[in-house]
């Protein structure tokens, strides 16, 4: 299979798949192409080599992920409150003296400019 044919295949199918499904499809193609398959698939799909290797590992082992998940539970970006404790209070102190709007809603307006807030 040529790089052009793979590019066309991936252009049609990859946008319709989940993150995990994309890894598995690309890894299966790389595996079936044999020597040089990872490089060819990487160039055609635009995926990182690490992602393709992760897909190959997932193909070899029985997945411990539920069918509807792409990542393990707890993966991904942490909430800002966890990364920077006290951030909410600090933001409140920054805009509180000059806020406008209904105090019952979450939406608040400030009369400070972006320059003043920075």
Compute φ and ψ for 63, nearest 5 degrees: -70, 140
Compute φ and ψ for 100, nearest 5 degrees: -130, 165
Positions of E strands within 9-111: 99-100, 109-110
pLDDT in tens, 31-78: 999 999 999 999 999 999 999 999 898 888 876 666 777 677 777 788
Domain locations in the chain as residue ranges: 3-60, 80-117
Name the DSSP letter for residue 77: P
pLDDT greater than 90 at residue 30: yes
Both tokens of 64, joined, read: 């411990």
Name the DSSP letter for residue 35: T
Positions of E strands within 1-118: 99-100, 109-110
Both tokens of 108, joined, read: 């608040």
Note the pTM of the prediction, 2 decimals: 0.57
């Amino acid at each position: 299979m040529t790089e052009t044919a793979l590019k066309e295949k991936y252009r049609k199918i990859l946008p319709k798949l989940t993150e995990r499904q994309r890894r598995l499809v690309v890894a299966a193609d790389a595996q079936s192409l044999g020597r040089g398959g990872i490089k060819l698939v990487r160039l055609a799909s635009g995926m990182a080599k690490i992602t393709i290797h992760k897909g190959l590992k997932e193909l070899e082992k029985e997945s411990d992920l539920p069918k509807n998940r792409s990542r393990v539970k707890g993966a991904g970006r942490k909430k800002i409150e966890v990364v920077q404790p006290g951030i909410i209070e600090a933001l409140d102190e920054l805009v509180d003296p000059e806020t406008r709007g209904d105090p019952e809603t979450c939406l608040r307006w400030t009369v400070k400019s972006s320059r003043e807030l920075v």
